[in-house]
Amino acid sequence: MKLISLIVPVLNEEEAIPLFYDAVQDVLHDEPYDVEILFIDDGSTDRTLEIIEGLHARDPRVRGISFSRNFGKEAANLAGLAAAKGDCCVVIDGDLQHPPEKIVEMYRLWEQGYEIVEGQKASRGAESHAARAFYSLISRATGIDMANASDFKLLARKAVNVLINMRERNAFFRALSSWIGFKTVSIPFDVQKRAGGSSKWSTPALAKYAVDNIASFSAAPMQLVTVLGGIMLLVSLVLGTIALVQKFS
Ligand code: UDP
Ligand code: MG
């Protein structure tokens, strides 16, 4: 029987994880395949790890990876993909903002031969202004339309192997998965309300994330440095000339 791995990065999601687990059971229990649920605890300081351990004791299909500190969602996704055993992997948020019933739709497309199924945000109602600004900035900088892209996606084993062998640990997962190619299809989903807790992104964290991702996907920052250097050179030549002229006249 085929195995499908769910990769779930979680940071301080003690409230959401049990709800997520129940929702996944409801959706997948009639499906003709095995499931493993892999939670990656990205350095939580609440009872997240304890809750994962409790689920694992009850249901051995649940496994956990525990990070020594917070490394960020990108690292958690990749660690999950590296540990997953599935014939395909579905990367999904643990706060139920990515609707689990879409997993079945993704799986059907995979059965039809697609190697990557991208979840695309149909509506972005629940997003902050900072998040919105972030996506428009990053789309312009990377040249990949990221406005409706999300981390909710299915990857066939072949694509998973390519990603984990890239040894890229700070990559912008969302863009990387489209950059590697493969037979891809998108399906729309509506971003849901969070199941408890709050968003793990502060505005400074989002700003750092934007800069990291722009730097790793585009040469624009380097060109900016060159252009600024040129401007500084011109300005100092002009100022130097003025100073010399004043001194000698
Ligand atoms: N997350 C994580 N590490 C982080 C930040 C977030 O593992 O440093 C997880 C979080 O627990 C959730 C998912 O990534 O399962 C999406 O995060 P969040 O809901 O905070 O982001 P948003 O939906 O607001 O973009
Ligand atoms: Mg969320």
How do residues 160-217 score in pLDDT, each as one tens digit?
Answer: 998 888 876 666 777 777 778 888 888 999 888 888 777 777 777 777 777 777 776 6
Mutate to test the pocket of ligand 1, among 10, 124, 200 (most ligand atoms within 8 A of CB): 200
The protein residue whose alpha carbon is closest to atom 19 in ligand 1 is 199
Q: If you measure from the C-alpha of residue 12 to the centroid of ligand 1, how many angstroms do you get, rounded to a whole number?
A: 9
pLDDT at residue 142, as a whole number: 66
Check if the beta carbon of residue 126 is closer than 8 Å to that of residue 191. Answer: yes
In the reported structure, the alpha carbon of residue 126 is separated from the centroid of ligand 2 by a whole-number distance in angstroms of: 9
What single string gives the DSSP state of each residue in 43-100? S-SSSHHHHHHHHHHH-TTEEEEE-SS---HHHHHHHHHHH---SEEEE--TTS-S-T
Per residue in 57-93, pLDDT tens? Answer: 999 999 999 999 998 888 899 999 999 999 999 999 9
pLDDT tens, position by position, 15-65 = 999 999 999 998 888 878 899 999 999 999 999 999 999 999 999 999 999
Ligand 2 centroid to residue 81 C-alpha, Å: 20
Q: Give distance in angstroms: CA of 239 to centre of ligand 2.
A: 52
Report the pocket of ligand 1 as residue ranges, CB < 6 Å: 9-11, 13, 42, 70, 72-73, 76, 93-95, 97, 199-201
- Cα angle, residue 92 at apex, residues 42 and 122 outer, rounded to 5°: 130
* Substitution candidate for ligand 1 out of 10, 11, 97 with most atoms within 8 A of CB: 11
Place of tokens 């694509």: 159
Residue pair 85/36 in contact by the 8 Å Cβ criterion: yes
Length of the chain: 249
Q: What pLDDT score was predicted for residue 39?
A: 97
